[in-house]
Amino acid sequence: MRAARRQFCAVLLLAAVPGSVATGFAQQQPAAPTEAPLGLRPGSAPAEARPAFRGTYPVVGKPVRSGKSTRVTPARGVADLPPAGERPVGPLAPGTPSPAVKPGPPLPPLAPPSRRRPRLEDLQAFDPLGVRVGTMTLRPAIEVSGGYDTNPNRIPNPGGGSSLLKTDLGLLADSDWERHALSAVLRGTRYRYFDTPAADRPEVDGALRLRLDALRDTTVDLETIGRLTTQQPGIEQPFVGSSRGQILEGGLAAGVTQRFGDASLGLRGAVGRQVYEAIPLGNGQSLSQSDRDLNSYGVTLRAGYEVSPGIKPFAELTGDRRIYDQAIDAGGFRRSSSGQAVRAGTTLEITRLIVGEASVGYGQREYDDPRLEPIDGFLANASLIWTPTALTTVAFKAGTELSETTVSGASGAIVHSAGIEVTHALRRYLSLSALLDGSQTLYQGVPITEDRLTAGLRLDWKLNRSVVVRASVTHEQLDSSLPGADYTANVYLLGLRLQR
């Protein structure tokens, strides 16, 4: 009896142990957890793709007895997942093998960041702002430079150079009016040679321009100019080595322009005066040049048509008269003359890349004295500014002039000139300029030719908007077919410019 009772208790114990195979009762599987295993999101993979949980859950709310640890088999997490290229993508039907995601071609390497192109605003950070006076903006400037000139008198065989002090004064003025416009330019320069006082000379240049918007399509332009220069050495300089004579020029001009849609028609008249100063001879006497003083009168008719924005071709016809104060000069010639010229060209303003005007034509002059042969020739004129980049500016000018002369036997002179200046900003505050300027004078009636050349370099260091340190070197030379007239000169300057 006691043995039968022990056997019955053993059977009950075996039936109470889960997963026991010692009995014929059906085995009861543990319930599936309600939360996804560690590292997986609910619904991220089908049940067939998740491994069966092997382990026991601790009883929540009951502390684990001291000395006895409850073993928990961790679920597979992210670290146990297969490589990225072998993971199944999306839910798959039961029994479907998991396809592998093949890695694509490698992405190209990132290009290095491009260097920011300089902007015009960056270079204008050191430009003067000017002084506001009412509706006008004034930009005054003064520059004082010291240096050395190897040939102050510009003579063939200089005895030596001289230290030099150069003083420049300048003023620019512009209006800010809703209608009309007013602008003014004034420049003055004084050369002081300490070792050669006879070479001291002044230079002054000024212009005042007013545009009146009379009607919607009608404008009136008024202009006055003045200039004080010094005679350049050469055949026009009577005595080599003497003090140079000065030339005073002035003029008035008025014009009206009427627009007819894209077409325009303009008429302009001008009067001018030219006076030559007597040349000091050094012995208390002077040589008069009053026979070279003259008045000039001219009229110009221009017709243009704007074929596209920024491009406006034009045709121009000019007639003028030059009358000398003395009907007969020192050589016995009557040099008063009449001239005509015709030109064709275009004005340009292509997105501020190229701005200016260029033209070609033909001109001639006839003199009152029949012994002086008429002169004529091909005319080419240009004034262009090219800005290929924000750092570089190229200014080009060219011109042809039928000029007056007092050389015995010559009726006149044809002067061809051209010049180019390139300015490059090395830094926002540092710029380098190179200048090349040349001219050729062909005297008509006599076998005399003069070639002039000027070349220079200038470095500007802008400390701020108001202070600029400037250094320059300039080379000048004259090559003449007349023996004993050639010369060369080099000028070295270092100065300080103050501007507003």
* 5: phi then psi, degrees, rounded to nearest 5: -70, -40
pLDDT at position 281 is 74
Cα–Cα dist 357/344, whole Å: 11
201 or 13: which leads in pLDDT: 201
User: Comparing 81-90, 179-188, 210-219, 264-273, which segment has the lowest mean pLDDT?
Assistant: 81-90
159 or 34: which leads in pLDDT: 159
Give the up-direction half-sphere exposure of residue 184: CA atoms within 13 A in the CB hemisphere. 11
Q: Alpha carbon of 385 to those of 71, 355, 395, 467: distances in Å?
A: 89, 5, 4, 26
Task: Indicate whether 348 pLDDT > 70.
Answer: yes
pLDDT at position 105 is 59
DSSP 281-339: -SSS-EE--GGG-EEEEEEEEEEEE-SBTTEEEEEEEEEEEEEESSSS-TTS----EEE
Pairing state of beta strands 449-462 and 337-350?
unpaired
Contact between 243 and 279 (Cβ < 8 Å): yes
Task: Indicate whether 31 pLDDT > 80.
Answer: no
Query: What string of H, E and C letters represents the secondary structure of 244-286?
Result: CCEEEEEEEEEEEEEEECCEEEEEEEEEEEEEECCEECCCCCE
In this structure, what token pair is assigned to residue 288?
């008069």
Mean pLDDT of 435-454: 94
pLDDT at position 11 is 45
Torsion, CA 364, CA 365, CA 366, CA 367, rounded to 10: -160
Task: Indicate whether 408 pLDDT > 50.
Answer: yes
pLDDT at position 28 is 40
User: Comparing 88-92, 222-226, 293-297, 490-494, which segment has the lowest mean pLDDT?
Assistant: 88-92
Contact between 72 and 55 (Cβ < 8 Å): yes
pLDDT at position 106 is 61
In this structure, what token pair is assigned to residue 39?
């590292």
- Under the banding of pLDDT at 50, 70 and 90, the label for residue 240 is very low
Mean pLDDT of 82-88: 47
Mean pLDDT of 432-436: 97
Q: What is the mean pLDDT of the chain?
A: 81
Task: Indicate whether 50 pLDDT > 50.
Answer: no
Residues whose CB falls within 8 Å of the CB of residue 318, separated by 6 or more in sequence, listed in order? 298, 299, 300, 301, 339, 340, 341, 342, 343, 363
Contact between 332 and 321 (Cβ < 8 Å): no
Angle at 323 between CA 318 and CA 326, to 5 degrees: 165
Quote the radius of gyration of the chain (alpha carbons, Å).
47
Task: Indicate whether 49 pLDDT > 90.
Answer: no
Task: Indicate whether 100 pLDDT > 70.
Answer: no
Residue 491 bridge partners (DSSP): 149, 474
Q: Which amino acid is at 29?
A: Q
Nearest to 364 by CA among 319, 329, 427: 319
Domain 207-463+471-494: which CATH number of 2.60.120, 1.10.10, 3.40.50, 2.40.160: 2.40.160
